[in-house]
Amino acid sequence: RKIVIVGGVAGGGSAAARLKRLDESANITIFEKGPYNAFANCGLPFYVGGIIPKEKSLLVSSQKQFKDYFDVDVKTNHEVISIDRKNKTVSVKDASDNISVVPYDKLILSPGSRPFIPDINGANAPGVFQLRDIPDSRQIKAWIESRNAKKAVIIGGGFIGLEMAESLKVKGLDVTVLERAPHVMPNLADELATVLESKMKEKGIAVNANNGVKEIISKEDNSLEVVCNDGSALPCDLVVMSVGVLPNSELAKAAGLELGVKGCIKVDDHMQTSDPDIYAVGDAIQVKDYVTGFDTHIPLAGPANRQGRIVADVLCGLNSYYRGSQGTSVCGMFDLCVAMTGQTRASLLRSKAMNPDDIGTVCVHSPNHANYYPGSTPIHLDLTFDRRTGAVLGAQAVGVQGVDKRIDVISSYIHMKGTVTDLVQAELCYSPPYGAAKDIVNLAGMVAE
């Protein structure tokens, strides 16, 4: 059978590899509109900053490897421009604008997302960048080098914005992060965000919060000026716009597939769209929030990869299904680590998922390992739980070491529908250099119980 995949990076690549492992006879073609398939989007900010020195390190797998290892045809620089559901074909445009019509038995959409560009003057001015793919990162690097850029403004203090802020600072630029919300990482609890912003200030990154962008002015000397909502102006040599992403669902929409929240492609838990022969995965789809059960959009690489595997399982007759996304994520800021999973009190109130009186929260502070062993550093951890049942609903933490480990542990408990008592009972690694006999995960459970 003929399987066509649109988008050859996280979700599309995972689906193809798993399909071939399950069914060697499957005839699979991946169409990727960009110049590379299977590249590491997540590594791009570190490449811009020079922390990952070689561009080729970002190429996780090539067209040739897909052909040699899996016998999967990958066509880069090929954009799928329309889907004919009746005749089960896609139209594909190559780099020379030639259009071909390709039949499918099953179609998998993994077209990802694209940066949201606010509707302001100057959003597309030279020197204003987004970071989505390897050519973007190349352009940013070339701009900095050719103009000897000294000052950068990052608009948006989410994960990509913060990673870019650190990378550009490491490169020696003056960096300001402009954030419309009251603090960077708007989903982070206020007290944890304070720790994060203190680290940014300590490292010389200016944070301009509670302040959005009004317009960007190109100056005669080729520099830029970011005019903020409060009327102030930030002169700079480049701007990185990272204010969120939009699902690439236009192809699906034009084909008449059902869309859901924020225009994401609607799928069931087998990743099937409203057309039984078309499946979709990754940043372009709507998912169920694992904790609240509400429909949402959670564009992250882990979910995209798992969904790619699931769609392959489903197409090969296995009873796999996607359970939902928790939004487990992590971000570094120099030696500080910020990680989170699931819901917070604020997000539960915002979505009206729970009655305020039923939401429990505790905030605990404890060293990452036994205090008496040299080199311990504090972790600040917020836990959110259901007062009625004790169910763990979310956690966020900030610290230097061991933060990701704690959030991963709690994420697993959330996934297994664990309670605060389960956290008390959790038996975690301990010897003085690594943990504590009462780990911060246990302590959070104890305080909440």
How far apart CA 75 and CA 64 sit, in angstroms, is 11
Q: What are phi and psi of 419, to 5 degrees?
A: -115, 175
C-alpha 213: how far from its chain's center?
Answer: 23
| Residue among 111 and 390 whose Cβ is closer to ligand FAD | 111
**283 in contact with ligand FAD (CB under 6 A):** yes
12 contacts 70 by C-beta, under 8 angstroms: no
Interface with ligand FAD (CB under 6 A), residue from 83, 108, 111, 413: 111
The CA distance from 3 to 109, in Å, is 11
252 binds ligand FAD (CB under 6 A): no
Does the protein bind ligand FAD through residue 282 (CB under 6 A)?
yes
Report how many residues bind ligand FAD under the rule CB under 6 A. Answer: 32
Distances 144 to 114, 150, 154, 237, 378 between C-alpha atoms, Å: 23, 8, 14, 8, 37
Helix (H) or strand (E) holding 410: helix 403-415
Q: Quick one: 41 or 61, whose CB is closer to ligand FAD?
A: 41
Can you tell me which residue has the tokens 């020197």?
A: 127
Of 228 and 285, which has the nearer Cβ to ligand FAD? 285
Tokens of 230: 């409060």
Q: According to the binding rule CB under 6 A, does residue 110 interact with ligand FAD?
A: yes
Binders of ligand FAD among 43-62, rule CB under 6 A? Answer: 44-45
Q: Note whether 344 and 382 are within 8 A (CB).
A: yes
Is residue 331 part of the annotated active site? The answer reads no
Q: Give the per-residue contact string, 13-32, with ligand FAD (x = CB under 6 A; - = no).
A: ------------------xx
Q: Which is nearer to ligand FAD, 156 or 282 (CB)?
A: 282
- Residue of the chain from 51, 59, 195, 301 that contacts ligand FAD (CB under 6 A): 301
Which residue in the set 49, 157, 299, 394 belongs to the binding site for ligand FAD (CB under 6 A)? 299
**Pair of tokens at residue 119:** 């509707």
Give the nearest distance from C-beta 116 to ligand FAD in angstroms.
12
Query: What residues contact 335, with CB distance under 8 A and at least 6 apart?
Result: 199, 400
Task: Tell me: does residue 342 bind ligand FAD (CB under 6 A).
Answer: no
Do residues 418 and 407 make contact, with C-beta atoms less than 8 angstroms apart? no
In the bound state with ligand FAD, the residue whose beta carbon lies nearer, of 47 and 413, is: 47
Side by side, which strands form the sheet with 224-228? 213-218, 224-228, 233-236
Among 26, 80, 362, 395, binds ligand FAD (CB under 6 A): 80
* Residue numbers at the binding site for ligand FAD (CB under 6 A): 6-7, 9-12, 31-34, 41-42, 44-45, 79-80, 110-112, 131-132, 160, 248, 251, 282-284, 299-302, 304
Active-site residue set:
42
